[in-house]
Structure 1
């Protein structure tokens, strides 16, 4: 009986562990005192939920309830398997439900700040690096759709849940399953119940939308950063390009990178033609997904 009680106690500890670490990354070199990492204002509570604090001149910690070990694992994988420069992961863990990624602090200018004053030659150096980075990344193929290490999908399309639940989207076995997930996200973005009358306008709008989503098919599944906006592309003094914020990284249909890099617009109208040089463009797919996202936002 004593052994059984110990086992039960161990099971309870596993259900609600104080400290969770990554089997891929191992134990972190240290655990930061939570009192040194106060909660800060989150403009999107329950959505991204991440804060940053510099530990020292060369070290940064990203932390919050939505910070995942999968993000740290993706960064570590990219650092070890490609020439892409991203912050070096020094350690990662979840403590009392709040994720922490300890990483190198990368100095530099965001791409928009750099671009304004750069010469044509300097701009070409950056574009060439981005072309190489994207080629390496997209050569990593996936056999599922979702976040890194088979974690759920992370994207705005899956975060506007009317019910504010912890519902997970994916990972999915293929693009069809992913499309079904998008349809489900649309359904959960507005309160139910939904009409089951095939003659009603609502029923037919939902039917047409589902067909529109499922017109996206036969795409390769490739490693995807998922948020290549200018704020996540850093140019250092030696012209090295650093890619930041791998929160949404994973394996997605080949069009997803282009859509997510352009859906919210670009800092200069003409810059979309530069993005087209390093991310393969998918204009039709992006247009469809923009329609879908606008439906989710209502």
Structure 2
């Protein structure tokens, strides 16, 4: 695919630590109480653990996993024309990095999660939604990596995700060093494990892959829909610039238990990674103990 430069988008500077703490105080002490009153009296249907709905179509996400760069990912997605929440502000809740909690104030995406309504959709509606998702993925993957061959977060720095050891590794200079880092977590304890390790080591024979803008957690509960159409993609905390197969194989690892959404994702025209899937499954099986839950 011929890729083109990113649209006009200036990577925002991280907020000043003191400013982030002040915003965190406002989020916790002012906005969360308002959200609880608002949901109790006006919108009980919007209550969700860790997500506080506010008036004026605003949402506050409060989570140990919330980081400022998630807001950057949403802004980058929107600059590409991807339907994502508008990032407003980030708040820090502890200067202690080991126990850090964060909060993100953003706009609300209308509709319900695809997961919650998929059983009630007509075949035509589901077909339309999957076509729209294919178009969104194609658009995301059409832009060249501003960091060159680097595999990294949207800011060019560390990588976060449920598929990386400890859910956090440093940025890597290229795909080969990225995969070598993943292989370090593989544990082959017996003959079967050693055979799987040899399978996992075949992935570099398929290099290089394009390094593309990736959501990283594209489950149906992160896709919002309304009246048979996608209204937005949420939860960008694991977004980054990652190998092109990553968006798919991170979900398709669950096809072994016939996860319906994984099978639907594999039906998209952009999926062409059966070999990568075989090698990645072997790696996942050998390193899953390193994925902190």
- TM-score normalised to the size of structure 1? 0.70
Show the counterpart of 1:5: none
> How many angstroms apart in 1 are the aligned matches of 2:125 and 2:196?
48
Q: 2:136 aligns with which of 121, 133, 147?
A: 133
Change (3 A) 1:88 1:202: same
1:218 equivalenced with 2:213 (yes/no)? no
Cα distance per residue 1:120-161 (max 9 Å; x no partner) = 332232122112111110012222112111121112232448
1:247 Cα shift? 1.0
Show the counterpart of 1:45: none
Cα distance per residue 1:94-139 (max 9 Å; x no partner) = 3423222111122322223333222233223212211211111001
1:94 equivalenced with 2:92 (yes/no)? yes
- Asked whether the equivalents of residues 157 and 296 of structure 1 are also in contact (C-alpha less than 8 Å), the reply is no
1:205 Cα shift? 6.9
Show the counterpart of 1:175: 175
1:280 equivalenced with 2:271 (yes/no)? yes
Cα distance per residue 1:227-270 (max 9 Å; x no partner) = 11111111123723311111111111111111023222488648
Q: What's the secondary structure of 1:121's corresponding residue?
A: helix
Q: 1:123 aligns with which of 120, 123, 126?
A: 126
Q: What's the secondary structure of 2:186's corresponding residue?
A: helix
Change (3 A) 1:57 1:295: farther
Show the counterpart of 2:59: 60
Q: What's the secondary structure of 2:59's corresponding residue?
A: strand
Show the counterpart of 1:155: 161
Change (3 A) 1:53 1:217: same
Q: How large is the Cα RMSD of the aligned pairs? A: 3.6
Which segments of 5 or more consecutive residues in structure 2 lack a partner in the other structure? Answer: 1-15, 34-48, 95-99
1:290 equivalenced with 2:281 (yes/no)? yes
Which segments of 5 or more consecutive residues in structure 1 lack a partner in the other structure? Answer: 1-15, 22-26, 39-49, 162-167, 195-199
- TM-score normalised to the size of structure 2? 0.72
Cα distance per residue 1:155-186 (max 9 Å; x no partner) = 2232448xxxxxx5221111011111102333
Show the counterpart of 1:234: 224
> How many angstroms apart in 1 are the aligned matches of 2:216 and 2:177?
18
1:111 equivalenced with 2:110 (yes/no)? no
1:201 Cα shift? 7.3
Larger Rg: 1
Cα distance per residue 1:13-54 (max 9 Å; x no partner) = xxx944449xxxxx979931358659xxxxxxxxxxx93222
Instruction: Report which stretch shifted further, 112-121 or 131-140.
Output: 112-121
> How many residues matched?
250
1:209 Cα shift? 6.6
Cα distance per residue 1:63-103 (max 9 Å; x no partner) = 23321111110101111222x21122122233423222111
